[in-house]
Chains A and B, each alone.
Chain A
Amino acid sequence: MTDAELVTKTRNGDSDAFGQLVARYYDGTWRFAYHMLGERADAEDVVQETFLRAYLALGRYDERDQFRGWLYRILTNQCRNALTSRSRRGRRFIQDEVAIEGAPAPPEAAPSGIHDVVLTKALAKLDPAQREALLLKYAEGLEYTEMSAMTGVGESALKMRVKRGSERLRGLLGQEPLDD
């Protein structure tokens, strides 16, 4: 069943259809929120708020939009709100190191040589706007036009955030770009 069909069913009061939408997108939204916020509990709160706001706003959802993009627009806003709130109360970005280190080892074929813990710690040191742009571009695999529609930020600004975020991240990792 397509997302649009599930949205229609949800609008008609089918809570099971909404449950299917949550099941379809929970994992992806959670991974994004986790990488943005660095704490498991905060990520879960943000994802819950995201689905709540999406549910309440389904009446305004334009079916010509991709549901995933619409959902991630809410998600990125919620992550920003959470980071702003965290900043106001003086908390620092703290990685959930226990959870990260308890994760299974990367597969042998992982094209890295960079341990995930090191990467996530470096990611946490980026400006949140750069972190958001890098995750949307590389981890989510979005085009700049999609990122712009999702975040409300111009494409040129997003390109610069990706560029500077990449340079900063590589600097933090002590890694030079590969030669072509």
Chain B
Amino acid sequence: MTEDRILPIDGGDVPDDPQLRGWLVASYRNTPEPHADAVARCTRVVLDRAALKRPAAPNAPAPGFAARHWMVAASAIAAALIITVTVRSRAPLDQSGGLAPMADGAPVGATTAVAGGIQFDLRLPKNFAANVSVVGDFNGWDASKTPMVKDQSTGEWSAKVTLLPGRHIYAYLVNGEQWVVDPLAPQIPDAGYGPANAVVVEGDAR
């Protein structure tokens, strides 16, 4: 950066500013508290997501560490009614890119930015679902607004949604009654309506 290049060699002495320090410390102190369940939710989501990412992690710690959380991965998958979510790219906050393969080789991920919108893809066990919808803040959580279409050759359900740039909250609704979230995508705090994912749509906000 320009500011870095015009410095004196040692940066010079920068006197402390106790008044500014006081303001910032006070601002920290007065910041609204995080949600009450934030710590527990963060821990749970991290462990679930880490368990699913673990096979692709290049620096896996001790063996017991990985083995333990494959069990968590299995639990997370079972909790999702043995549903695997197939998506073609991760949510933008994840800079690592790529999809972590699951134990059976099926990919897991989030959503895909495509021309004119966001592509949601979902793979379900054979003959498991009669209908699937994407529901979110962009369609008023109305299951009738964005039904997914099944590709008979692959068994994947998909839907494309046009979304404005910004952060959107979504989930999947299977057979009109079963809410499903992507365990690898960022999850929002549960405000009492159940878990949901977040996706950020990039682009010019204008």
Contact = CB atoms under 8 A, between A and B. Distances in A.
Most chain-B Cβ atoms within 10 A of its Cβ — which of A60, A153, A156, A162?
A156
B3 A119 contact: no
B43 A111 contact: no
A141 B95 CA distance: 29
Contact of B31 (A34, A56, A88, A111): A34
B78 interface: no
Contacts, number: 212
A110 to B, nearest CB: 4
B20 to A, nearest CB: 6
B24 interface: yes
A161 to B, nearest CB: 7
Question: What class of interface size applies to chain B in its complex with A?
Answer: 35 or more
Interface in B88-132: 92-95
Given A55-B50, A110-B22, A159-B12, A89 B93 contact: no
A110 B26 contact: yes
Given A48-B186, A138-B17, A35 B11 contact: no
A1 interface: no
A56 B24 contact: no
A22 B46 contact: yes
B152 interface: no
27 contacts: A11-B61, A15-B43, A15-B69, A31-B28, A41-B167, A44-B35, A44-B38, A48-B45, A51-B42, A55-B47, A56-B50, A56-B54, A59-B61, A85-B92, A89-B203, A90-B203, A99-B32, A103-B31, A116-B27, A119-B23, A129-B1, A139-B24, A157-B7, A159-B12, A160-B7, A161-B3, A162-B14
A-B pairs with the 6 shortest C-beta distances? A156-B11, A59-B61, A13-B68, A111-B22, A159-B11, A89-B202
Interface of A: 10-13, 15, 18-19, 22-23, 26-27, 30-31, 34-35, 40-42, 44-49, 51-52, 55-60, 81-82, 85, 88-92, 96, 99-100, 102-107, 110-112, 114, 116, 119-120, 123, 129, 134-135, 138-139, 153-164, 166, 169-170, 175, 177-178
